[in-house]
Amino acid sequence: MPNHFSNEVDGQLKFYQDYLPLVDKTLKTDDILTDYTDGIVNGNLIEFKVVINDINSVLFQAIKYLSARRIKGKEIPKNILLVSLTNEKIYVFDSQEYLTHIEKVYFGGASVKTSGFSSDAPLEVLEYGQSQLDESRLITLLRSKQYTKINIDENCIVGWAERFYRENKGAKKSDFIGDHTGKVKIIGEIRKPEKLKEFINPYIGETNVQFQYLMDKLNDTLQKKNLGAFYTPEPYVQKSLELVRQAIKRVPEGNDYIILDRCAGTGNLEKLMSDEELSHCVLSTIEYYEYKVLLELLGDKVRHIIPPTEKEDTFNMGLVRGADALSEEYINNEIIQRYINDPKVTIILYENPPYADTRSIEHQKAKKTSSSSQWKQSYLMKQMKQEIKGMGVNEMGNIFIWSGFKYYLRQPTDSYIIYSPIKYWKEIHLIDKKFERGFAFNRRHFHTKIDALVSCILWSNVDEKLDNITLEAFNIVNNEILQEEDLTINRIYTKYSNVYYDKRKFSDDKLSDFVLGLNGAKLVGTNKITSQTIINNNLIGYLRASGVNFDNPDLASSLLVASLYNGAGYFPLRKDNFLEKLPMFAASRYITYNRHWTQRANIMKSADGAERFNKAVSSNKIEQDLLKILLFTTLEAQNHMRSLYGSDGRFYRNELSLDNSNGDTLATVNLAKLKQGSKETALFEQWNKVLTEAKKTENYNSKLTYSVYQIIDELNTSEKDENDKTIYDYPELNGHLNTLKATLKEYYNSEIVPFLFKYEFLK
């Protein structure tokens, strides 16, 4: 008698309830429902339908699921089981027979556009509801753990590499890729599978060409930055070639010229050049596999690749001997020196150098040792440190830029076309050269996940100090270049800490050992404590607005009621001048509310307007603006001030809060002077809704003075359901918090940001 299910889910659950205990008692439905499939049970992909009326369509849907698994680096079950619930039939297919289809890439949902596919007859048809023999066969299949081996190609290599790295801690790219075409034979996992031998076929390709796009992507997070920097997308390469051709036009009549790229990778910057342009190129890359691809793709087209041919000792622990552009050996390379010493040769540098920053959060989280920062010990780094001081020496790309002008460009007609975050010019002042033309590109298209500005600028070798430059901005949409408004990039000269930080010490300042974590609560953990909290009636808390750029905005901006455990970047906030310090905090939140790609890595924090700002403060002409910033500060969630009892026996009250349940705070007293318009009134009203709901929560403590952040962290509790979806205990409170956040964003951009730019807290 046929089963009647109103939907697939009911039948699917019934099926698993009946058979999973017979297959593996430890298996739960959550274990097998993965990658949007109806289930992966050992070596079986299962697809359920209430009734299967079109086997071709359902099989094609299953194939699409398997295609997605291959791309993600997940094993391909050997068996495909199509379950028709109503008539209790299972159509069994072997995924090996459909491997050519599985190894294609499909776009859109698996259930979309499934018509037109033609399958062979199923290997078996099991009537599991009618035949005990078939039912026994079904259980045998579900217990089987056989998989179809796939072929590695450019579509799936990243997924399988990530899996390999994940399952084999410490593995390097050479362990995975290997190479058997050079004089030095390296057998990698894809060429002779060991760890993945049940799932992939050996890669037997004779060349690395099909992987050229992926070479930069296959390093682990930090190594990717060290060696690959950014993969340069074609539309941007095409634009940067305009700058190369402009530089070529600057070559004096009768001169030869070379286009030198010391970090060519697999030749992305050069691949769209004409044969004539390529014939002037001198290229090198330090990474062995990229070197092999470079030789193969461009070896017969460019003037030189360094080194020109592969020798027995070329492979040097994954790197290319003689191709380290940061070494003294490279600077003295006889091929390059021949051109540098010839006054009848014009030098054009054209590079997208590696970007590695030892201050970055990625570097700190990875806890990398000196092996990942060997460039810090390089010859050029040591030379640069003798001339350049400050944070600029922490970034590898800056060594390329500095050394380019120092060692390679000699004549006014020499040029440098450089891809780089603009801070080398804007913040660090690494060079003062003549700006010829430049572009702003979106970093998201360079194999990263972040919208930010990357500059590509043609500099001529002529000294010139500039306060600002204008870049033509280009995004990429649907693989097409899209021009946006030109951007004016203004230089930064003064940092907050140089001018605005309050460094006063008072004779009645006392110290407490009570310190906080980044979340504003009592420090929990084993962090080394190197700071103490000042105790004084004139102290409100501590403010951090460190750095110039927005690389790590949440780490670089905060407010606390006591000192951070290490005090990094914080200064004491005192009652007599706190209002004039809050613009630093407000400016530090800019990128949170302005995420367009032209903003990050372009807009930065500065104290260049300090003189005008201090005069405005003294004349009391900006009091209302400062009160608006105070209102914003009390409602901004990155204000981590919270009321709490310290381990030193003191009660620390949050004075920058609108919660006056226990009497006025410093904020409410000052905000009584704010001239409220409709926007301010809306914020106060929304805050009152939040506080009203917060007082209804189980964790509410009437003795505390709450901030938005403390309400979010302590009162707006939630849990995860079986589908990993967040369920809030107090949806009304959560809803009011979300509304407050949206309202505050609009207020910030309309009422606060113009002031911050006017007085150059943002620039």
Q: For the whole model, what pTM was predicted?
A: 0.71
Answer for the pair 396, 224: CB distance below 8 angstroms, yes or no. Answer: no
Predicted confidence at residue 312, as pLDDT, reads: 60
Predicted confidence at residue 42, as pLDDT, reads: 94
Instruction: Give residue-wise pLDDT tens across range 124-167.
Output: 999 998 999 999 999 999 999 999 999 988 668 777 887 888 89
- Enumerate residue ranges in the chain where pLDDT < 70: 1-2, 107-116, 154-155, 178-186, 206-231, 289, 296, 309-318, 356-373, 375
Helix locations, 589-622, DSSP H: 590-593, 610-618
Structural domain that includes position 387: 228-423
Whether 183 maps to a domain, the answer reads yes
Predicted confidence at residue 218, as pLDDT, reads: 52
Whether 638 maps to a domain, the answer reads yes
Whether 447 maps to a domain, the answer reads no
Same domain, 543 and 623: yes
Q: State the Cα–Cα distance between residues 125 and 294, nearest whole angstrom.
A: 53
Predicted confidence at residue 37, as pLDDT, reads: 83
Predicted confidence at residue 11, as pLDDT, reads: 87
Distance of CA 534 to the CA centre of its chain: 37
Same domain, 396 and 512: no
Predicted confidence at residue 211, as pLDDT, reads: 55
Same domain, 186 and 138: no
Whether 373 maps to a domain, the answer reads yes
Q: State the Cα–Cα distance between residues 356 and 229, nearest whole angstrom.
A: 8
The amino acid present at 660, given as its one-letter code, is: N
Predicted confidence at residue 711, as pLDDT, reads: 98
Same domain, 127 and 247: no
Same domain, 416 and 505: no
Predicted confidence at residue 151, as pLDDT, reads: 93
Instruction: Give residue-wise pLDDT tens across range 221-278.
Output: 334 333 333 468 899 999 999 999 999 999 999 999 999 999 998 899 999 999 999 9
Same domain, 195 and 290: no
Whether 474 maps to a domain, the answer reads no
412 three-class SS: coil
Lookup: tokens for 268: 């992305």
Predicted confidence at residue 316, as pLDDT, reads: 64
Same domain, 551 and 651: yes
Predicted confidence at residue 112, as pLDDT, reads: 52
Same domain, 88 and 232: no
Radius of gyration of the chain (CA): 31
State the pairing for strand pair 76-77/147-148: antiparallel
Please list the residues that pair with 439 across neighbouring strands. 456, 472
Domain boundary residue, one of 388, 423, 458: 423
Same domain, 520 and 571: yes
Predicted confidence at residue 228, as pLDDT, reads: 36
Whether 701 maps to a domain, the answer reads yes
Whether 486 maps to a domain, the answer reads no
Count: domains in the chain? 4
Whether 365 maps to a domain, the answer reads yes
